Amino acid sequence: MSRSSAQPDSGPASPRIGVYVCQCGGNISDVVDTATVAKTAALIPGVALSKVHAFMCSEPGQAMIAEDIRNEHLNRVVVASCSPFLHELTFRTAVHRGGLNPYLYEHVNIREQVSWAHHGDPAGATVKAIRLVAAAVHRLRHVEPLEEIRLPNHRRALVIGGGIAGMKAAGDLAGKGLDVVLVEQSATLGGRVNELSTLFPAEESAAPLVRRLNDDLQAHPRVVVLTETVVKAVSGFMGNYDVMVGPAPAAAGAASGADPQEGRHLTVGTIIVATGYDYYRPAEGEYGFQRHPQVIPMPEFITLLARASGETLEWQGRPVRRLGFMHCVGSRQIEGVHPPQPDGRVNDYCSRVCCTTALHQALAAKRRFPRMAVFDFHQDIRTYGRGHEDYYLRASQAGIMFFRFHGDDPPVVEPGSNGTPIQVRLKDWLTWGEEVVAPLDLLVLAVGMTPRDNRGLVSLLKLPVGADRFLQEVHPKLRPVETAVNGILLAGTAQAPMAIDETLASASAAAAKAAVLLAHDEVHLEPFKARVDPEKCVGCGVCFAQCAYDGALVREEGQREGAPITRAKVNPGLCVGCGACVAVCPTRAIDLQGWTLNQFEAMVDGLLSAPQPVAATNSNPVSDGRTH
């Protein structure tokens, strides 16, 4: 498979490659002999310069690279450091600062893939690092300068979902001077917050929050709100999404005067998904649900308490003198203990807000009806938010009784005695496993959040879904509201269980990211897309069957030797650079820009022909290589 005689694809002649090896403050150099790697790399043909630095990602490290490009006339750069996920963009920027095309650069991961993976074998790790650097150098001999792909950007956003997350995101975007279309499948805005009375921890009424958000939308002429409307079809790519919306099922008439048969077409640059959540629906018999009318889910209790009047809380005509709250219903489930969901899995995640909700409602009931006995049944209490722990302290001080059970030995709800309709039997681990029976007039199940059934939207937008079945972001810290689909963002509880303040913060973050994406008249995309050589394409069409992205490959009519031929052509906006078409092309007419087959073959040559380690004369030098 050797291609050592092959010429570089294009780009600067006579490669002068700079190799930079990072010690990463000991993360790498404690295992890998970085000085030996640098000195050995200098022996590879094409390497003009080889150096070591303690922190290559630091400003001095980046400045060194930029200066060497200018002063040593480097035309390609290799950086051997940590994961490219962290600092590939950092070093591309440094290369660009030096006046070099940022894609004439190769990142080699010798931290996660070498020093961390082979901590017990320093000699072997050093050899591996040398081989990976050699592979990168050989690849760079066959690279070409690339440019970002620039496409028109329609500076308008679509927000799907009219709960508080969608309303907040739309209002924030309009406040930044951008046009927004908000679609909501129901007749009103506000979502689940409309079902609440007061909000923790501020103890403010829920209705004014919805009113404020709605007033913000109404104040912006840039916002178009379409209620009783759903997304019917989506095509296109970031900056150029073509969306058809139409009336929601069972909605009265069409959206905003559009023909209900045709729907309404929108062209937008980015899409924010804020479709919210559903409450967990307990299975029949779960903690006595549907078998005892005195067992009700939390949303029903919130309404009951908000509408209560007089000196006694009543349920079905009976006074509620003994009230219980059951935590973790539909959350933190254990396989084999709890009934599985329709897809066969259990909800093993924590819904996060249920504990504080239960304490919030228990305190509200105790304040309204001081003579009521209130009981709390839990595995653990997770009052994680700012001010949430105060609810636990106040509940304890108010005389609410707490009982703790193990998740694999949950309480049993059974018919009551001594004049109460039901009772809860459990082993209380706050008293070292003592069996306790608590007679109750009403048991409230603190049901968790479950993902909304978004299967149609997931299919339309090709959205990634996590193991918990909520929509998944790229990275929870580095890219917390972005999905793997460029231009599609997440807001609020469509992504994960969140409290009100977190939901609003998430919506603002999505709006801020959308504003960045819509800031310019053009969208800049990475150039790593498939490319078809029309001279090699014979029109066999095999590539179309392998492409998983509708519209990424299109058919183009042409001529070959006077005869008509249908060739493949790449739509760079929809191509994701997966390479599936490259693998099946029988004539090698398709290649991936930035990762061509020639470059892969050259990397294999580099791995096999890497020089043997040459020991450095100094254990911690900043070493210069020799010019070839």
Q: Are 159 and 181 contacting, i.e. CB atoms less than 8 angstroms apart? A: yes
CB burial readout 310-328, b (16+ within 10 A) else e: eeebebeeeebbbbbbbbb
pLDDT 10s digits, 101-123: 999 999 999 999 999 999 999 99
Q: Are 459 and 485 contacting, i.e. CB atoms less than 8 angstroms apart? A: no
Q: Enter the CATH code of domain 156-276+452-522.
A: 3.50.50.60
Of the candidates 60, 85, 64, the residue with the CA atom closest to the CA atom of residue 20: 64
Residue spans in the chain of domains classed CATH 3.40.50: 1-146+597-628
Residues of the chain short of pLDDT 70, as ranges, are 1-13, 251, 253-262, 617-628
Q: What is the pLDDT of residue 169?
A: 98
Q: What is the pLDDT of residue 558?
A: 86
Residue spans in the chain of domains classed CATH 3.50.50.60: 156-276+452-522, 279-450
Q: pTM to 2 decimals?
A: 0.80
CATH class of segment(s) 527-593: alpha beta
DSSP 277-319: EEE--PPTTGGGTTTSTTEEEHHHHHHHHHH--SSS-EETTEE
Q: Which two tokens stand for residue 166?
A: 């969608």
Q: What is the pLDDT of residue 10?
A: 41
Q: What is the pLDDT of residue 133?
A: 98
Q: Which residue has the tokens 């409307």?
A: 229
Q: What is the pLDDT of residue 515?
A: 97
Q: What is the pLDDT of residue 571?
A: 92
Q: How far apart are alpha carbons 623 and 52 in whole angstroms?
A: 6
CA angle at 245 for the pair 243 and 246, rounded to the nearest 5°: 160
Question: Which residues 6+ apart lie within 8 Å of 584 measured at CB?
Answer: 542, 543, 546
Residue 544, phi then psi, degrees to nearest 5: -65, -35
Q: What is the pLDDT of residue 624?
A: 41
Of the candidates 424, 420, 417, the residue with the CA atom closest to the CA atom of residue 444: 424
Q: Which two tokens stand for residue 156?
A: 């308008």
Residue spans in the chain of domains classed CATH 3.30.70.20: 527-593
Q: What is the pLDDT of residue 6?
A: 39
Fold of 1-146+597-628: Rossmann fold (3.40.50)
Q: How far apart are alpha carbons 526 and 171 in whole angstroms?
A: 30
Q: Rg (Cα) of the chain, in Å, rounded?
A: 31
Q: How far apart are alpha carbons 106 and 419 in whole angstroms?
A: 77
CB burial readout 540-573, b (16+ within 10 A) else e: eeebeeebeeeebbeeeeeeeeeeeeebbebbbb
Identify the architecture of domain 279-450 in CATH: 3-Layer(bba) Sandwich (3.50)
3-state secondary structure of 511: helix
Q: What is the pLDDT of residue 13?
A: 60
Q: Which residue has the tokens 């959205």?
A: 463
